[in-house]
Structures are given as structure tokens and as C-alpha cells.
């Protein structure tokens, strides 16, 4: 397996620790007054989603996981009793992901939506939704008359069942653009 030296550490690289794939979220170089330089890292386990902090000395190395970890385009199909079903757009194979693995990001996906699928050793281990999604508002309280001051927000329910905080002028039937990773309102979409 190829090795990655500490000098090559950077955000986003994939490494293997104790036989499991990790993604480097942070890497900070620290040079104390005496002794070797240190690399303080924050790593996310791609199978479990847990985050660990590790410190490495200058000259250490980790096993690269980039040969085993790859991503491809896929499509969200539907939800069933076991979780969520996705289809690989290249092989047309269907894969299941549990609700824990998908997290909150899946609450803004419509059936048929395109997303990025993450594989490790040929097994689906994660998904990334599109950055922005356009959804229809299905439930919204009417705005209070005269309450048109800036930054007044209200909760609305969108067609996927998720709740989004929006400006008071948004009403039922409107289409809104939402940031899928944070669940925040971006703008009202006119057709």
C-alpha cells in the first residue's frame, strides 16, 4: 500500500488507520521550541462517522486509502424499512444506506435526485446530496399583517417533510432554494 508522509498531510486526503478508512478534516503544523515538528490532525471515520484527534511527528506516515475509496454519481431512489436506497449511475446497482449513515442531509432529497456516492472496497459507505435543492412549500402559516420588518422568519414544511426557516413572505405553493448540507433557506425561486 502507498504511504503518505506527514509533509503530504492536508485536508481531504483519505487514509487507513487500523484497517478502516478515514478522511482528514484538519491538519495543523506545530513547531515547538525544541524537538521534532508535530502534525495535529482531526480525522473522520468514513464507516462510523466518528471523529478522532491524532498527533503525528515529522517523519511519520499513514497508509493511503485513496486506492480503496472512490466516489461516483448516483441517484436517490426511495426509502424502505432498512433505510435509503441509492442507484449507481454507472453500474445501475442498487445499494442501501442506513438512516444513521445518511444523517440529516437526506431530509432534503427528492426521489430521483442526483447525489455523490462514496465507496470503500466496493461497498457504499456514504452519500453527499447536491449543494442546493429546489423544493415546494406544502405547509406555511400566513404572514401576520403588518409584520414585514426585515429578518422576520417562520417555519414551513417542504415536500420532503423537512422544516425550513424562511422569510415571512414565503407562502404555501412557493418553490424555495435550500442549502442541503445546512438546511438553510437561500431564496424563493420564480418560474
Q: Which CATH architecture has domain 3-64?
A: Roll (2.30)
Query: Given this chain, do its domains 3-64 and 132-189 carry the same CATH topology?
Result: no
Q: What is the fold of 69-128?
A: OB fold (Dihydrolipoamide Acetyltransferase, E2P) (2.40.50)
Domain assignments of the chain as residue spans, ordered by start = 3-64, 69-128, 132-189
Residue 49 backbone zone (phi > 0: left; psi -120 to 50: alpha; other: beta): left
Supply the pLDDT for residue 148.
58
Q: For domain 132-189, is the CATH number 1.10.10.10?
A: no
pLDDT in tens, the chain (191 residues): 688 888 889 888 888 888 888 888 899 998 888 888 899 999 988 887 788 999 999 888 888 876 678 889 999 999 888 889 999 999 999 999 888 777 777 888 888 989 999 888 888 888 888 889 999 999 988 876 665 556 788 899 999 889 999 988 888 999 999 998 888 999 988 87
Q: Over the stretch 66-107, which tens digit does the pLDDT of each residue have? A: 667 888 999 999 988 888 999 999 999 999 988 877 777 788
Supply the pLDDT for residue 182.
84
Amino acid at each position: 500500500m502507498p504511504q503518505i508522509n506527514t509533509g503530504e498531510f492536508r485536508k481531504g486526503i483519505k487514509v487507513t488507520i487500523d484497517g478502516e478508512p478515514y478522511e482528514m478534516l484538519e491538519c495543523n503544523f506545530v513547531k515547538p521550541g525544541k524537538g521534532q515538528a508535530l502534525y495535529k490532525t482531526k480525522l473522520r471515520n468514513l464507516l462510523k462517522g466518528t471523529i478522532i484527534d491524532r498527533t503525528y511527528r515529522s517523519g511519520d506516515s499513514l497508509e493511503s486509502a485513496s486506492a480503496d475509496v472512490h466516489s461516483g454519481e448516483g441517484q436517490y431512489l426511495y426509502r424502505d424499512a432498512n433505510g435509503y436506497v441509492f442507484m449507481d449511475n454507472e453500474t445501475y446497482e442498487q445499494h442501501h444506506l442506513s438512516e444513521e449513515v445518511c444523517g440529516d442531509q437526506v431530509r432534503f432529497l427528492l426521489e430521483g435526485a442526483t447525489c455523490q456516492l462514496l465507496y470503500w472496497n466496493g461497498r457504499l459507505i456514504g452519500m453527499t446530496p447536491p449543494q442546493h435543492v429546489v423544493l415546494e412549500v406544502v405547509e406555511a402559516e400566513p404572514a401576520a399583517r403588518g409584520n414585514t420588518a426585515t429578518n422576520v422568519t417562520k417555519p414551513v414544511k417542504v415536500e420532503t417533510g423537512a422544516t425550513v426557516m424562511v422569510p415571512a413572505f414565503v407562502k404555501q405553493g412557493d418553490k424555495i432554494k435550500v442549502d442541503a448540507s445546512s438546511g438553510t433557506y437561500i431564496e424563493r425561486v420564480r418560474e
